[in-house]
Amino acid sequence: MREKIIHKSAELFLTLGFKSVTMDDIANGLGISKKTIYQHFDNKTKLVEATTLNMFNNICDGIDCICNASHNPIEELYDIKMFVMKYLKDEKTSPQFQLKKYYPQIHQQLQFKQFEKMHVSVKNSMQKGVDTGLFRKNIDVDFISRMYFNGMSGIKDKNIFPSKLFTMEYLTESYLEYHLRAICNEKGLQTLDKFTNKHNLN
């Protein structure tokens, strides 16, 4: 039952937002009593914590699968972006923004976990790009992987990038291209242009 509660909570949180969803909404969605939820979670904060951790682990598993199956680091980054956006339902309810506002401690813990995961995977991806001759050989892989994480976090700041002006799809697409064009060599740029033209990303 605990897993069912987490699964339904994630679905509702991503659709309606962390603030909007009540314990009653989750209970009604599962056809159970609120008391049953409280047998597994002391309060909504504990449920949010368990749900976000579960979502994070699922995303990590998906990213690992993409990295293991990728043909090149350029496609890999685009595939990861598409997977995460689809999983988070294009972030239409701004889950990270709401988490930061209403559950700051959980957001901080999650941010650290995201950095640890993303730093390693992006670092490996960039090293692969250098080794396969797609990225410039003189790039500082560790520095740029940190900058990439910082940028991806920064575009979610609604004060700087208000949703009435920018969709999350546009922001992630634009930032990813900005990042890749900064580190690709001539061969990499040709590969990037070929990929974006094929998928109508220009």
- Structural domains of the chain, with CATH: 44-198 (1.10.357.10)
pLDDT in tens, 155-170: 988 889 998 999 988 9
pLDDT in tens, 34-80: 999 999 999 999 999 999 999 999 999 999 999 999 889 999 999 99
pLDDT in tens, 67-93: 999 889 999 999 998 998 888 876 666
Distances (CA, A) of 23 to 2, 45, 202: 14, 11, 43
Interatomic CA distance for residues 59 and 133, integer angstroms:
29
